[in-house]
Amino acid sequence: MRCGKMAAPAPAGGTAGAWGGARRRCQRLLYWVPVVFISSILCWSYYAYVTQLCLLTMTNIGEKVVCLVTYHIFFMLFIWSYWKTIFTLPMNPSKEFHLSYSDKESLEREPRGESQQEVLRRAAKDLPIYTRTMSGAIRYCDRCHLVKPDRCHHCSVCDKCILKMDHHCPWVNNCVGFSNYKFFLLFLAYSLLYCLFIAATDLQYFIKFWTNGLPDTQAKFHIMFLFFAAAMFSVSLSSLFGYHCWLVSKNKSTLEVFRAPIFRHRTDKNGFSLGFSKNLRQVFGDEKKYWLLPVFSSLGDGCSFPTCLVNQDSEQASTPAGLNSASKNENHLFPAKPLRDSQSHLLTDTPSWPEASAKAEKGKVGMSNPALTMENET
């Protein structure tokens, strides 16, 4: 008697995996809600300003032309920078920072201790990294299996390591980091100018409608609410834009404000600051004609950064006697490992504008590569 084959039961993991995939898709859709909200307000503001205020309420032709032309300039720059902030993919560490297959196997096979440290020493010995964990170990991401470059952090929302991560912004549904930080700054600047311009040109008509100086038409609601919205957003945007301008002047990220970079010798909150003009050029680039346009012009590759440390490493063997003590309280440019060409010139060139930190150029002292230890950090 031939027995028929019984169908194998569906694995329980398959149902759980399908449910998990559906949940992730729903989460990704929900992440777009703030972007849709901002876009809706922007579309309504365009209709309210162009149609209801300029075309239907303003009576002076010259005023109409000036307001419409200026408005559309701010509007296009606002849209352009917002679009670039949203859809510019965050940059991830290059392949040289990823562990090889054999190194990953060794790291998983060996118990924590000197063996694992030796694997990380081999992987990081030629990488331009200076920052450490709080315990002085190498910053290693056990989710991405890579040695973290300086200023790189793992984003829990994107589930990736992001170069020079500033923060994950829900209003753009994207991480703000090395690849789009300039776009984010311009987005804040042009959105602030957009709101200020609307509030300034709408004010007289807002007062007229408020005091019943104009007939009660459909435009009344749009013009009055437009002024309130523009004024409200101007206050919040001005504080946020001012804060990020301060960050640029100090060459800091939002994450570095809350946790200062830790170098081998000590924690240094100003370790990456090279002076105002050089800090500005790192974000906006050397060519001023691109500064106000949402096109990428930042210096470097996001994996290595010129570093200005406060104290000399006490273990530097090649430093001449007496130099360490003589320069103890001065800033030193710190190329301990090779920087990328696009960043190195910030340490050696002579800028055309005055430097606020000229004293930092006095002593350029090389330092030996720090001893490397490992600690998992996500």
- Where in the sequence numbering do the catalytic residues fall? 169
Residues 367, 331 contacting (CB under 8 angstroms):
no
DSSP tag of 54 = I
Q: Is there a contact between 370 and 266 (Cβ–Cβ < 8 Å)?
A: no
Structure tokens at 251: 């060459």
Q: How far is CA 28 from CA 33, 35, 174, 351, in A?
A: 10, 12, 11, 45
Instruction: Identify the sign of the CA torsion 228, 232, 235, 241.
Output: negative
Look at residues 86, 264, 54 and name the one whose alpha carbon lies nearest to residue 184: 86
Using CA atoms of 356, 337, 146, 167 in order, give the dihedral in degrees to the nearest 10.
0
Rounded-to-integer distance, Cα 298 and Cα 180, Å:
9
CB 374 within 8 A of CB 138: yes
Structural tokens at position 350: 């002579």
**For 13, which DSSP code?**
H
Task: Look at residues 191, 97, 199 and name the one whose alpha carbon lies nearest to residue 145.
Answer: 97
Rounded Cα distance between 74 and 81, Å, is: 11
First to last CA, the chain: 60
Q: Which of 154, 158, 57 is nearest to 97 (CA)?
A: 154
Cα(155)–Cα(152) distance, rounded to whole angstroms?
Answer: 10
The H or E element that residue 242 is part of is helix 219-250
Q: Measured between alpha carbons, how far is residue 207 from residues 195, 210, 223, 229 in Å?
A: 18, 5, 10, 15
> Are residues 201 and 218 in contact, defined by beta-carbon separation less than 8 angstroms?
no
